[in-house]
Structure 1
Amino acid sequence: MTEELMTRLHALYLSEEISGYICSKLSDSSVNPGWVESGLILKGFEGLLKDESIQQEYVIPTEQSINLMIDRGMDLVNKTGLIIVGSQGIISEKLAILFTDDKKKPNRKLAIAFRLEGYTPQDIGRLISKYELEIPLMSEFHEPNIDYIEQLKIDVGNGYVTDAFALSMPRGKINPTKWIQESLEEKSDDVIFRTNKLEMSPIFALLFSSWILDFKAYQELKKGIIAAVFMQESHNEMIIWDSSRKYAIFAVINDISLEEITHRYLLSSWLSTKEKMKPPSKTKEVVLETETVDTPTRPIVSAKRDKTSTKEHVIQERIDAISTKIEKLEAAEMSRRLGIIEKNLEELKASEESHDAISLSPDITTMIDVFRKRIDSVVMRLERLVERLDDTERRLGSKIGGQIDDK
């Protein structure tokens, strides 16, 4: 339900795993400018809602995206729409806009926008599927087809896609609406693939083509990609507008869940040539494996070395390990992040007092208290590690006749 999704998003924001989010209600007059601000229920970001950066990053893209989804009927009950926009790169920064029912008031819709980095499109699909749609998640990972045009053809053959076409964008500036109309009406080389029957896909394709011209959140991106999934009662409608590969896809999909759509199509659409995917050994979540430069391994200590030299080597390795831990977990950084959490907690409490706010989980305060105690414990352990490091350096220095250089 929506409360669970908002609780999850706020927890991710408090832990700095997402950049920010907003949630606004859609009233009868909400299509007028300013409805995001007037209908605001919850928010999480640095700054004020009226700040230009917040307007450009959250408010304006939300208004524009909801307008498109309203035009496609997503403002009706039991319909949900999702738009994801970002530059190419499977874990690049993305903005996700969700349009869904308010579970507390069935006749009211909510717009939720959140900006995040380090998440794949499938991660976003799983997040919404679990906490909002409440549908089962994929239990196993299988590597998707890198060519999503080929995947579209496969799904047509299997009966999952019944109404679809894929176009190759020409170079240079185009008028999207005119280009799509001409491509479908004439025998155009831009048509990569199409089903024999085209009924619904041209309708939402033309809606999208006139909308994208003014969508600045996409126009300002380098190698930008937009994906939209409109979840109708009997089917799903998918749009992929991929400027990096110069492809546009419009498809009606049956019997495939939101997460499966993000897995089959959106992962490969955001995937760059230097990235590859593989399943982790335990969690079976989608992870990214980037190409890395091989680093030389530490030389093996020869068995012929004397015991004293071997002990010094072992002690040095332990000191290096402790130093690495301290560098990764600085007490000052922990204190800074704790301060941010405490600040956001106060904002959360203020939001909960609002008469129209979505009530978050009552366990959120307990969660923050537990997290604060864990931070305090980490700081104490770090201080003890520093003391042990100093003591070890003194003892080692007395044995080998000198001090170890700080690095």
Structure 2
Amino acid sequence: MPTGPGLDRPVLSPRSRPGGLWARASGGSALWWRSDWGLVVAALGLSLVGALLVYSATRHQSGTAYLVRHLFNTAVGVVLAAAVTRTGYQWLRAAAPWLYLVSVAGLVLVLTPVGSTVNGSHSWILLPGGFSVQPSEFAKAALCLGMAIILGERIDREGRPDGRDLLVAVVVAAVPIGLVLVQPDLGSALVLGALAFGVIAVAGTPKRWLAAAVALVAAAVVVALTTPVLSDYQRDRLTAFANPQADPQGIGYQTRQVRIAIGSGGWQGQGLFEGRQTQGGFIPYQQTDFVFSVAGEELGFLGAAGLLLLLGFVVLRAVLVAARAQDAFGRLLASGVAVWFLFQVFENVGMNLGVTPVTGLPLPFLSYGGSSMFACWLAIGLINNAHLAARRR
């Protein structure tokens, strides 16, 4: 038997080396080292700042209850993002149609007696233990996957989708948009519409088709505003946007208090937990729709602008992943997430500043809400998955 330094020691195969089981279970340490940590840290920073803002808006009425739930939602969201990151890229492509169908089934289910109405919208499924699910939030991630797989397959084969592919893509987008409008949830429907339009545009669609898509979206908004599709509660929100005095004790009061809070923040703010409007409880649902007003009042213009820059960084990272993607699926997937976040931030901040109607959209990562937080972190996982796929090639 040969002898020599080390030759009398048992040889360990890669499968039997210490830590090999963990490496296989976690996907290998290289998977996590190659991840887009700038994106992850930015999203985590936003979520943690959001926890402080939510706590500031609710601590006098509810103590630490909302803070604990927000942190719990963040932790679950990070786990979901890690699971999506760990998922194989090809498996994600194969599962995209099924995930889309599951999301549509959720939107149908919420319209049955299983669903519940909150603030005039039949958009929720109540679960035991005080938990609830809003399927329209998950539909945003599912639509990103559905649009990317439909248009991406044709682009990878022939370089440009034809009319049939675009028609299928429009139908795929129209189904969840229509179901969300029936709830009715105009804000989420607008996000889904913007997302679909962005993906179709990035896919290389001719301008005449894009113009037709804009006309369809405009027609849908007109129908929503001129027919009983919207609830009285949501119609009051739109009326108050045009004339805050039309509902001085309801939405008009709320939007007026939000503007007072943001305007009183000045450059540096009144200090965390020191805002007069926020601590006085003058703004209903401030921890959800109007969490940006907490930042504006207590952190001031500089703090609120810093949050917008961080949100912009997340959108920029998604755009860069789309630009570097090696296939159409990854490019369209990341583009859809970028448009989703960009439009939702614009709409939420706009309604806080009084430049867009109040549609009940949360601010990504910052607003309180489990479904919104989970969906946003799922999107982070999707972007990171596309990022890793590009780096492996």
User: Which structure features the higher share of strand residues?
Assistant: 1
TM-score w.r.t. length of structure 1: 0.24
From the CA coordinates, give the structure whose radius of gyration is larger. Answer: 1
Q: Which structure ranks higher in relative contact order (CA pairs < 8 Å, sequence separation ≥ 6)?
A: 2
User: Which structure features the higher share of helix residues?
Assistant: 2
